[in-house]
Amino acid sequence: MNHRLHDRAANSLPEACPGLRMTPQRQEVYRVLMGRRDHPTANEVHSRVKKRLPNISLATVYNCLETLVDHGLIRQVNFERESSRYCPNVNEHGHFHDAASGTIHDIEFKPGVNLADFLDLPPGAVIEDIEITLRGKLAAS
Amino acid sequence: MNHRLHDRAANSLPEACPGLRMTPQRQEVYRVLMGRRDHPTANEVHSRVKKRLPNISLATVYNCLETLVDHGLIRQVNFERESSRYCPNVNEHGHFHDAASGTIHDIEFKPGVNLADFLDLPPGAVIEDIEITLRGKLAAS
DNA sequence: TCCTAGATTGGAATTATTCTTGATATCGCT
DNA sequence: AGCGATATCAAGAATAATTCCAATCTAGGA
């Protein structure tokens, strides 16, 4: 069992974030994302958050998610035209979509990798954000 | 000037595609995409196609685009939650979104690149599709 | 030519998300 | 503690892209 992960999941925000007022709703939305890192949709987040905040509205969940994204505490992930999903892993990383199970796995870059190593970037391009999505199957191991 | 490109753009379908009935609508949708490779949305495709087929409906444009995608003649490209865009480049490639101009550039992989060299894939993962999107700025050269 | 499967159309329906508005809560200051 | 300014919340309405539906149409084969 990964205690490091578990401990983080049990807390609310890792540290204060400048300019972000920490309300019970935002705290709980964040807590829920940390508690189960399965890339839930806003709807799923709403269901989970309602366990503790039964009166929270879906609109508020959307607001909280947007705020947390804007402050860099979580990331919004899009697959095709499906509903957005949310992910508390703010490291640069990609996602692997297992078609069979519908699960999503974070994909880390191998250490020391540089985008320009494998992509033919336009000269002078300054990259601000990367989104890498793989779709496929996990062969039975 | 790139004659190869220009010639392809002027034609309709490059070759017959098994199981695909080539209707005037599909032909024109394809022609429009080849004629201007700027990753238009379904709406933009609709406007362009109407020049020659004034009665074509948006639903038909969606149908044609879907069919062409299903047959591997074009690709559907999604950025965030924006409308889907369509692209006649069916090679494996990524996209660079220039925030300033709103333009989209195809990004090719460097030759001989293997994704597994750069990404920490889950063991036994079989990749069926890759989507790489970069957002950033093109520095004034 | 006639039949049939598939294609097209226009409009209605769907769905995720955003917007609006009024009510609440919080912050900084005295 | 009290007050005004500001931010947040909630509920439902509104939006926008896309899909669905039912009714024609069309092309190609028997």
Residue B61: CB less than 7 A from any atom in strand D: no
Per the prediction, chain A carries an average pLDDT of 88
Structure confidence at residue A71 (pLDDT): 94
Structure confidence at residue A13 (pLDDT): 54
pLDDT single digits (tens) A50-75: 999 999 999 999 999 999 999 999 99
The H or E element that residue B109 is part of is strand B104-109
Do A132 and B119 touch, CB atoms closer than 8 A?
yes
Q: Hey, what's the torsion of the CAs at A14, A17, A22, A28, to 10 degrees?
A: -40
pTM recorded for the entire structure: 0.87
- In angstroms, how far is D30 C1' from B60 CA? 30
Cα–Cα dist A96/B125, whole Å: 9
Confidence of residue A1 (pLDDT cuts 50, 70, 90): very low
Residue B75: CB less than 7 A from any atom in strand C: no
Token reading at A20: 């972000």
pLDDT single digits (tens) B28-82: 999 999 999 999 999 999 999 999 999 999 999 999 999 999 999 999 999 999 9
Structure confidence at residue A141 (pLDDT): 56
| A&B contacts, CB < 8 Å | 129
Residue A37 confidence (pLDDT) above 90: yes
Residue A10 confidence (pLDDT) above 90: no
- In angstroms, how far is D29 C1' from B13 CA? 24
State the DSSP string of chain A.
--HHHHHHHHSS-SS--TT----HHHHHHHHHHHH--S--BHHHHHHHHHTT-TT--HHHHHHHHHHHHHTTSSEEE--TTSPPEEES--SSEEEEEETTT--EEEEEEPTT--GGGTEEPPTTEEEEEEEEEEEEEE---
Q: Which window residues (49-68, chain A) lie with Cβ within 7 Å of strand D?
A: 53, 55-57, 59-60, 63-64, 67
Residue B17 confidence (pLDDT) above 70: yes
Cα–Cα dist A46/B11, whole Å: 51
pLDDT single digits (tens) B94-141: 999 998 888 999 999 999 888 888 999 988 899 999 999 999 998 875
Interchain contact, A120 vs B110, CB within 8 Å: yes
Amino acid (1-letter code) at residue B41: T
Residue B64: CB less than 7 A from any atom in strand C: yes
Residue A131 confidence (pLDDT) above 60: yes
